[in-house]
Structure 1
Amino acid sequence: MPVVSAGARLPRSYRFRAVSAVPLALLGALVAVAPASADAPRQDLPPVLANILRDAVGAPAAENAISGFTRLPEIRPHDARLDLDIVYTESTIYNPATGRDDKVRLRSYRGKGTNPKIPFVAPTIEIQPGETVRIGLNNQLPPEPNCTPPDINTPHCFNSTNLHSHGLWVSPTGNSDNVLLTIRPTVSFQYEYNVPFDHPAGTFWYHPHLHGSTALQVSSGMAGTLIIRGSRKPTPEKNGDIDTLLSVYPDGKPVVERVLEFQQVQYACRDKNGQIKVEKDAAGKVIAWVCDPGDVGTIESYDQFGPNSWQESNRYTSINGQVLPTFAGVAAGRLERWRAVHAGVRNTVTLQFKKMRANAPTFDKLRAADLDAWAHENCTGDVLPQWEIAADGLTHAQMIEKTQNVLQPGYRSDVLVVFPEAGEYCVIDAAAPANSAVGNIEESRQVLGKVLVSKGVPVGGDIRKFLTTQLQAMAGKSMRPDMREKVKAALGDNLQTGSFVPHPTIEQVNGYQDVEFNIVTTQTPPLFQVNGHSYDPTQARTLILGKVEEWTITSKLAGHPFHIHVNPFQVVKILDPAGNDVSEKGEPNDPQYANLKGTWKDTLFVKQNYKIVMRTRYQRYIGEYVLHCHILDHEDQGMMQNINMVLPDGQGGGITGHH
């Protein structure tokens, strides 16, 4: 099984770093007025230099220097570029059911930062607020003559594409996060994301979003993690970035981070008639998709998707392109930050950690269906707690302790973990009841990999108390003198992190919106709908910039992850079919809604006959973008709607034209 070393990030990161041409005289002046130590008295920057600095690096970074930080902010030109070639990539994916590597040919992003050992996994991009990021897409896939179907909601044009920066708060128009563009084969196009200085730091991701081919391309592995790193420390006037708390341990060493990008690459091998090769049980039920020696697995048709397809395929959820990886370099008693990204198409991942019994047999040659029994026999320790600090890249006001971290397609979850003692630990995808899972069928427990934990400094007793003490010590080192005690006291009060929340709570609204997902199954093919209509690119929901509205999201048939572009939302309540609010305590057999009240997200699973009530602000950006179900083959077949954000007309309405 592959080993992921400590400190290594798979996929490799492409880090944007540069130094701007700010005059040396300005830098010298800043150094001259900066305090000699963190405890030195604050000194005011001369107004002229303060204004020059604001012009050079932007207001937030300038205020950091002006407020008396000993470390000057990184001064950068806010201009960076990455080129991604979209190509067919030949590689292998390990298949535990056969104990051998399957050859695959997949569409992928290739660029600086691509890991040559796992070439179908896209680079991880790391940027900071205030940067302008230019990503050049070079579509080198083969041309597809006459790829336009008679119905826009029939999957089509699998070699055409575009790019979506999932979760970023940037413009949806022009060459920014514009998912209404089409980039045909042989065409190159440069996306430009002007990330504002006040953008939240957090974990985001990028993937294709061309209607009709999104699921096929994302399932092929065309997805990458996008991290925005923040250096803004909280002040008495403004909240800061959680990154500043989680920068160094009390001993001064940098905090260990790991990126876990979950993917479900649903490749198939086909017979001479073009049918998927399968294995069936005695009753004729499909129990696995088969690839014989010499076959090449591909993703070329939407017959590879559907409610039961993942279970039938007997494929395995990969982490950073690897099946059943081993995470090495973890030390007992060492807090780590794990950034989990669900970059799959349609199956729920319920992340758990459990101590593995000593001398457990290997699990690298088992069918996916057999892993539940293996976990029952060998993953026998108590479930390890995870403390979620952020969801969908947005920091919580209070860390959420979880023993099951339910990740639906499109979700991100930043968690802190502490392995209390040396040994091997199971990384598990826990069982999920049908109504809490994307496919609306029960999901059995799976093993995703294992963690090797060295001796370190074992933690006895209460891990929560240990975590709190560690974080308070880190705050003592990293926070400003006028914020240290406030942050430490909040951490000591049930791990509150209110000084790092990026958005203020929405108290009042001035409008309302309703969204209902539905699948009409009385005709073939079924209709995938939003508010009774399948996707029509000529129709849009008109919203007015500056308004603050309450949305109610429901699902008439099956469960669907709701996702909206540009502006995130705050959860108000989640009502079960009986009208009970489950957004605080969750439900007995399903923890996914617990502690969600008041949190900020951009993607949220809507169970059948449940009601999600949320609030959102329409800030800064106008233009046309979309909301949709993040079961991406549902989106490709019509479960999407355009949004047209317009300027107010000054009389309570909006202006949709130029007059």
Structure 2
Amino acid sequence: MAREVYLWLVVAVLLKSATPTLQACNYTSPCKLKGGLNLTLPEHLVSSNGFLKVNFNLEVTPFTVDWLTLNRRSYNKMIPGPTWRVKPGDTVNLTLTDLLTFPEKDEPNNGKRFPNSTNIHTHGLHISGEVPHDNVFIQIYPNNSHFDYNYPVESEHPSGTYWYHPHLHGSVEFQTNGGMGGMIIVEDPTNASTPQHLQDVSCPNHCEHDVQLIMQPTMLYSGGGFAKLQIEIADNLFMLKNYNVTGTNETLYDWMIDPNNGVNNFTTNGRLNPVLYLPTGQTKRFRLVNAGGGPTLELFVIDANGNPACEWYEIAWDGVYMDKATPAHLGKSFIVPAAKVDWLIVCNKPGTFYLTSLASPSDDPSIGNAARYNGTLLTLSVSGSITNTSINTTLPARPWYQADFRNASDSEVHGRFMIEASSQKTLNRDLFSNGTYWRYKVEVNKLQEWYLTNTGTTSSHPIHIHVNSFQVISYNPYTGPFDGQNKTTNKWKYWDQQNNTCYYQHAEYNSSDIVNIPSDPLKYLGHDKRWAQGGTGTLGYSNAGVYRDTLLVPPLSNITVRFMTNKYLGDVTIHCHILGHEDSGMMMVTDIVNQGEVLSANVTSGNAYPGTCQRCDPFPPNNGSQCVSSAPTPLTLANLQQRPKPVALPIPNPIDTQTNQPPQSTPPGGANRPN
């Protein structure tokens, strides 16, 4: 029965992508959008002699899909923006000028605000978070203010696919989902370090086979979508209620948000379901970016009957090469908001095929409650004779600081921290405060082991860490608390897995708050077992060993990641890349400091460390609990080299800046699912 439903969904998605009969359509006589224009690639801005000078203006541009033209904010009147092409060792100098002149909406922190101010984030680049580099707390105001960014791309920077987008807290969702974004390519060296078969399909020498696909949630309107966001943020360009649909009591706004009219689309390179013409047997490199902050994409290539078509292998995630080219896990690339994946793809048979995103209910256990897009992103029109071209699986080596750390010893790990998401849109039990309220500090050039957890019972969160990509090590048993909310009062609290109220709560908690336990709170428990077993229902998990900068953290999960704090000091921003969550406060900042500096930080929320519930819980809680009566061993830089047994936590003061390395235990290694 499940397969029959799934096949029905495949047919429905393909029918949705079919071109309808042409008719006269306009704002007062709207009809369903059809798309189908030829694919165009963004303009390329290419470095020369070690430098790339970019001048970006924030301005309004008409954005047209079929008969519908909307006004959107953009970089240089382009949606998507131009592709930057640089080499390791280059420097990018960017001047970003805000040419908007509209009045600005301001709101308290963590509200929807600043639709006409901006800044920019180079997502995934290994770049300093300090000013004037990739600092996301810069604000560029309307009326011709500007900022000069400087991005030194280090000589050891991994070649790969990255992207840029606005990151001004309060308007990140609005500006990014509206179309502001573009790709960054750090080119592969044209020498023996890059396999010839990869050079043959990649820029700089073979850009004709290098296909950049920027997939943006620009036309998501069903149920409110982008139009609702425009109203909430007081968008000066909102226009849909100005047109009445002939013969109805509806405005164009009403028509656009009606799910029956199907205006719920991603665009690819600014077009709805464009067509790419290919010859049989020609290998292409697809660079695919989910360039938004909403639904997840679950991509594969199928024919008109829903059968797998063409051959394609994943070669890189989030700009970092895998060990070798590999068929996608369960036949789909699971691309959370902001994630990137590179494919090598060849179609050996002629025909019409579809790059499609399609959610299967069987994968719900690994994903939880997340927005998942169903639709065709690109049509492939393949012509020629049947061929038998195969895909070479050899890939370049990664830089030293992105080595395989899965078998690193305890003595090699110099810092451990937990990122705890929740259904309350908090990180580590607090909403975002400011850019200098550091929740953790680490030393530069040291191997870190962090744990990504989620106390939510249904909601999942794609967590993005700036500056340093991280390697997925394992999915571990989740022994921590779960959270729940009184939706009338917005009060919330934590319970342990035996439904006992947690001793450690959060800074805003009051014991008199009335909050009921959520229904079936442990429904999603068991990610560690499902991940280790593999197979059906595990699409939402990452394979071990893969490097990511954004990773889905499902409800009641516990994921170990490792990374080297290579080279760069300063801010490391962490947030959920469901950008509405980020704007609402699901963000925090950590800090990388010189070796030997004081590591004090605001680790706790009130008296609670992330991941803890009862008095005997260790931090991070990755090896059950072991309650001892003595206080923890005082932390020094010397004992960062070892991992003592877990101990009971002290009760910190309500306003405490504890050193951020409490003793804790060796986390379970988990199964190393092959990548």
The two structures share one fold, judged by TM-score above 0.5: yes
The answer (yes or no) to whether the contact 2:244–2:252 under 8 Å persists in 1 is: no
Distance of 1:648 and 1:514 partners within structure 2? 21
Is residue 2:126 matched to residue 1:169? yes
Match of 1:157 in 2: 114
Matches within 5 A, 1:377-416: 379-402=305-328, 403-416=331-344
SS in 2 for 1:155: coil
Distance of 2:260 and 2:183 partners within structure 1? 26
The answer (yes or no) to whether the contact 1:207–1:223 under 8 Å persists in 2 is: yes
Cα offset, 1:404, TM superposition: 0.9
Match of 1:220 in 2: 178
User: Pick from 427, 431, 449: which aligns with 1:550?
Assistant: 449
SS in 2 for 1:137: strand
The answer (yes or no) to whether the contact 1:562–1:629 under 8 Å persists in 2 is: yes
Matches within 5 A, 1:111-190: 119-144=78-103, 147-149=105-107, 151-186=108-143, 187-190=145-148
User: Pick from 438, 451, 460: which aligns with 1:559?
Assistant: 460
Match of 1:580 in 2: 528
Match of 1:247 in 2: 199
Match of 1:511 in 2: 415
User: Pick from 638, 646, 656: which aligns with 2:593?
Assistant: 646
Match of 2:218 in 1: 265
The answer (yes or no) to whether the contact 1:435–1:608 under 8 Å persists in 2 is: no
Provide, for residues 605-654 of structure 1, a one-character-per-residue CA deviation record: whole Å limited to 9, x for no partner.
11111211100111111112300000011000000001121112277299
Matches within 5 A, 1:289-304: none
SS in 2 for 1:316: strand
Cα offset, 1:552, TM superposition: 0.6
Distance of 1:296 and 1:335 partners within structure 2? 47
The answer (yes or no) to whether the contact 1:10–1:320 under 8 Å persists in 2 is: yes
Match of 1:90 in 2: 62
The answer (yes or no) to whether the contact 1:3–1:327 under 8 Å persists in 2 is: no
Moved more, 207-216 or 573-582: 573-582
Is residue 2:70 matched to residue 1:104? yes
Match of 1:440 in 2: 369
Match of 1:622 in 2: 569
Is residue 2:395 matched to residue 1:497? yes
Is residue 2:244 matched to residue 1:323? no
Match of 2:45 in 1: 14
Pair 1:255–1:578, CA change in 2 (3 A): same
Cα offset, 1:16, TM superposition: 2.1
Match of 2:605 in 1: none
SS in 1 for 2:199: coil
Is residue 2:554 matched to residue 1:607? yes
Distance of 1:381 and 1:270 partners within structure 2? 31
Match of 1:429 in 2: 357
Pair 1:275–1:248, CA change in 2 (3 A): closer
Match of 1:4 in 2: 38
Pair 1:267–1:424, CA change in 2 (3 A): closer
The percent of aligned pairs where both chains have the same amino acid is: 26
Cα offset, 1:547, TM superposition: 2.1
The answer (yes or no) to whether the contact 2:222–2:258 under 8 Å persists in 1 is: no
Cα offset, 1:579, TM superposition: 5.6
The residue identity in structure 2 corresponding to 1:248 is D
Matches within 5 A, 1:340-419: 340-356=288-304, 379-402=305-328, 403-419=331-347
The answer (yes or no) to whether the contact 1:346–1:439 under 8 Å persists in 2 is: no
Q: How many residues align?
A: 490
Match of 1:366 in 2: none
The residue identity in structure 1 corresponding to 2:268 is I
The answer (yes or no) to whether the contact 2:241–2:252 under 8 Å persists in 1 is: no
Provide, for residues 375-434 of structure 1, a one-character-per-residue CA deviation record: whole Å limited to 9, x for no partner.
xxxx34334442000000000012220221111101100001111211111221112438
RMSD, matched Cα? 3.6
The residue identity in structure 2 corresponding to 1:534 is L
Pair 1:267–1:511, CA change in 2 (3 A): closer
The answer (yes or no) to whether the contact 2:97–2:146 under 8 Å persists in 1 is: yes
Distance of 1:608 and 1:309 partners within structure 2? 30
Pair 1:582–1:618, CA change in 2 (3 A): farther
The answer (yes or no) to whether the contact 1:276–1:289 under 8 Å persists in 2 is: no
The residue identity in structure 1 corresponding to 2:198 is L
The answer (yes or no) to whether the contact 1:431–1:446 under 8 Å persists in 2 is: no
Cα offset, 1:593, TM superposition: 2.2
The answer (yes or no) to whether the contact 1:625–1:643 under 8 Å persists in 2 is: yes
Pair 1:355–1:165, CA change in 2 (3 A): same
Is residue 2:181 matched to residue 1:202? no
Distance of 1:624 and 1:253 partners within structure 2? 37
Cα offset, 1:500, TM superposition: 5.2
Cα offset, 1:202, TM superposition: 0.2
The answer (yes or no) to whether the contact 2:222–2:262 under 8 Å persists in 1 is: no
Distance of 2:114 and 2:167 partners within structure 1? 12
Cα offset, 1:592, TM superposition: 3.6
Distance of 1:531 and 1:246 partners within structure 2? 42
SS in 1 for 2:594: strand
Distance of 2:136 and 2:110 partners within structure 1? 16
Match of 2:23 in 1: none
The answer (yes or no) to whether the contact 1:180–1:625 under 8 Å persists in 2 is: no
Is residue 2:421 matched to residue 1:455? no
User: Pick from 504, 507, 532: which aligns with 2:429?
Assistant: 532
Distance of 2:251 and 2:269 partners within structure 1? 21
Distance of 1:624 and 1:322 partners within structure 2? 36
The answer (yes or no) to whether the contact 2:453–2:553 under 8 Å persists in 1 is: yes
Cα offset, 1:170, TM superposition: 1.3
Distance of 1:296 and 1:124 partners within structure 2? 37
The answer (yes or no) to whether the contact 1:562–1:630 under 8 Å persists in 2 is: yes
SS in 1 for 2:414: coil
Distance of 1:208 and 1:438 partners within structure 2? 27
Is residue 2:209 matched to residue 1:256? yes
Pair 1:435–1:297, CA change in 2 (3 A): farther
Cα offset, 1:224, TM superposition: 0.4
Distance of 1:439 and 1:320 partners within structure 2? 29
The answer (yes or no) to whether the contact 2:366–2:537 under 8 Å persists in 1 is: no
Distance of 2:222 and 2:356 partners within structure 1? 28
Match of 2:470 in 1: 569
Cα offset, 1:443, TM superposition: 4.4
SS in 2 for 1:182: coil
Distance of 2:591 and 2:359 partners within structure 1? 40
The residue identity in structure 2 corresponding to 1:406 is F
SS in 2 for 1:216: helix
Match of 1:362 in 2: none
Distance of 2:170 and 2:260 partners within structure 1? 23
